[in-house]
């Protein structure tokens, strides 16, 4: 059985016992706003846990059950979610790096993206609360994730997507047997429609930030990074940012370790957004949220109204986080750099985080011998079309050795 937990509003600090399913704070969400206020945060009895001789080793061994809203871990999917590899990279283009670089490859999850961490916990929570249908809005990854997880759990998934979502991700959703609902509009339009359907039909909603369990699932990556770095924290973690939920999840995992006395300080998180969709980082120090229409090749982080803006902003300010924006050209170049140097093919959203690290390095902002982690959140095979305009496939040659030799010489 899990420890007791509460939902705490990030706007008004009201606390709610989990006697029923909560999405946003009932008090703060009455007056609708974009980005939404009243996002809930799951909290645990940290002092009680510390008093029980808490150990990180035990946390890992028991599947994080001391820090989970799931009553019985047997309700989690039987697919292998999490425990993704952390690769140490020592050279780029044959030049030895002056800092330590680690790549956390979450494309190894069942549906090839980081989103499985959230979907697994959402699925289990739905099961424990009597829901057999889960709905979500998605540009692709969250949708394919919940579709695949639901397929493994015998649950029904409904995925509302903008019609412009990448074909590979739509294909995944359909292959997993989910009901796909294309919308002639943006991700934000799909999000609003999924909430209306939730209220109308009583489905369980997986929407990022809207459902507080999504952040809980994503925090597990922090425990893994800490463990894989031999119980130490990196100097910086570069995180791709759209809605701000992955960023909040990474913060939340390390914050738990901080409150439980396992670590003494927080690593510096670097929020990386595309210049074409930087509504979160652009508004961090603004008194009034101003939206700019999103247009970027990195579809997974293309968001007009970042749904977890206020929680992410609070984390960044509280723990002296950093942020940077990168262009689509820098994202594509970083994706090619990553693939050719490491053998890891990442989708544009993942490449954005790596582009952020390269930009930091070029600006001289990474210290010698420092430890830096980049979150690679999804496989490049999820959006191959994003790279096609930047690649040239050679014309075919006649199959003889002379032509072959000339081709190799020219290329």
Q: What is the pLDDT of residues 282-325, one digit of tens each?
A: 999 998 999 999 999 998 898 899 999 999 999 999 999 999 99
Unique residue bearing structure tokens 């109308």? 200
Q: What is the pLDDT of residues 72-83, one digit of tens each?
A: 999 999 999 999
Q: What ranges make up the beta strands (E) of 230-284?
A: 236-240, 268-274
Tell me what pLDDT residue 164 has.
81
Mean pLDDT, residues 331-347: 95
Tell me what pLDDT residue 96 has.
95
Closest CA to 62 of 71, 73, 53: 73
Helix, strand or coil, per DSSP, at residue 280: coil
Tell me what pLDDT residue 50 has.
77
Tell me what pLDDT residue 277 has.
95
d(CA 204, CA 130): 9
Share of the chain above pLDDT 70, in %: 98
Tell me what pLDDT residue 263 has.
93
Checking if the pLDDT of 1 tops 50, the result is no
Which is more confident, 393 or 240?
240
d(CA 34, CA 303): 12
Tally of residues, the chain: 411
Backbone angles phi, psi at 260, to 5 degrees: -90, 0
Strand partners, 42: 7
> Could you tell me if 119 and 157 are in contact, meaning their C-beta atoms sit under 8 angstroms apart?
no
d(CA 142, CA 161): 10
> String of b and e for 151-173 (b: at least 16 CB within 10 Å)?
bbbebbbbbbbbeebbebbbebb
Tell me what pLDDT residue 3 has.
57
Q: Terminal CA-to-CA distance of the chain, rounded, Å?
A: 61
Which is more confident, 248 or 50?
248
Q: What is the pLDDT of residues 6-57, one digit of tens each?
A: 999 999 999 999 989 999 999 998 888 889 999 999 999 888 887 666 678 8
> Could you tell me if 176 and 136 are in contact, meaning their C-beta atoms sit under 8 angstroms apart?
no
Tell me what pLDDT residue 58 has.
78
Tell me what pLDDT residue 66 has.
79
| pLDDT grade for 65, boundaries at 50, 70 and 90 | confident
d(CA 228, CA 313): 27
| pLDDT grade for 93, boundaries at 50, 70 and 90 | confident
Which is more confident, 169 or 42?
42
Q: What is the pLDDT of residues 175-222, one digit of tens each?
A: 999 999 999 988 889 999 999 999 999 999 999 889 999 999 999 999
> Could you tell me if 355 and 85 are in contact, meaning their C-beta atoms sit under 8 angstroms apart?
no
Q: pTM of the predicted model, to two decimals?
A: 0.94
Closest CA to 282 of 294, 299, 268, 269: 294
Q: Round the average pLDDT of the chain to a whole number and report it.
A: 92
């Amino acid at each position: 059985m899990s420890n007791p937990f509460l939902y705490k509003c990030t706007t008004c600090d009201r606390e709610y016992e989990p006697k029923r399913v909560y999405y946003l704070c009932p008090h703060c969400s009455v007056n609708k706003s974009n980005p939404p206020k009243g996002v809930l945060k799951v909290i645990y009895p940290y002092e009680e846990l510390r008093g029980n001789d808490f150990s990180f080793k035990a946390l890992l061994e028991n599947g994080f059950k001391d820090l989970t809203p799931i009553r019985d871990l047997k309700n989690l999917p039987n697919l292998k979610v999490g425990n993704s590899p952390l690769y140490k990279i020592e050279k780029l283009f044959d030049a030895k790096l002056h800092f330590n670089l680690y790549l956390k490859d979450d494309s190894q999850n069942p549906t090839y993206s980081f989103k499985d961490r959230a979907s697994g916990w959402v699925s289990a929570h739905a099961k424990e609360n009597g829901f057999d249908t889960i709905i979500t809005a998605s540009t692709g990854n969250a949708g394919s994730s919940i579709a695949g997880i639901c397929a493994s759990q015998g649950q029904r998934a409904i995925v509302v997507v903008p019609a412009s979502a990448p074909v590979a991700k739509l294909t995944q959703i359909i292959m997993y047997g989910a009901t796909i609902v294309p919308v002639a509009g943006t991700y934000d339009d799909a999000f609003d429609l999924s909430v209306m359907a939730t209220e109308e039909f009583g489905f369980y909603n997986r929407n990022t930030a809207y459902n507080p369990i999504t952040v809980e699932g994503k925090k597990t990556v922090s425990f893994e990074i800490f463990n894989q770095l031999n119980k130490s924290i990196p100097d910086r973690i570069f995180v791709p940012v759209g809605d701000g939920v992955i960023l909040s999840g990474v913060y939340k995992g390390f914050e738990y370790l901080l409150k439980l006395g396992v670590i003494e300080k927080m690593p510096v998180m670097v929020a990386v957004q595309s210049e074409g969709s930087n509504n979160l980082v652009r508004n961090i120090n603004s008194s009034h949220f101003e939206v700019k229409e999103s247009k970027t090749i990195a579809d997974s982080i293309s968001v007009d109204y970042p749904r977890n803006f206020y929680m992410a902003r609070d984390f960044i300010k509280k723990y002296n986080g950093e942020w940077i924006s990168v262009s689509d050209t820098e994202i594509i170049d970083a994706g090619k750099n990553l693939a050719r140097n490491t053998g890891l093919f990442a989708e544009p959203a993942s490449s954005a985080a790596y582009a952020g690290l390269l930009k930091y390095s070029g600006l001289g902002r990474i210290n010698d011998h420092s430890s830096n982690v980049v979150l690679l959140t999804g496989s490049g095979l999820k959006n191959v079309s994003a790279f096609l305009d930047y690649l040239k496939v050679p014309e075919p040659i006649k199959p003889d050795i002379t032509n072959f030799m000339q081709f190799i010489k020219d290329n």
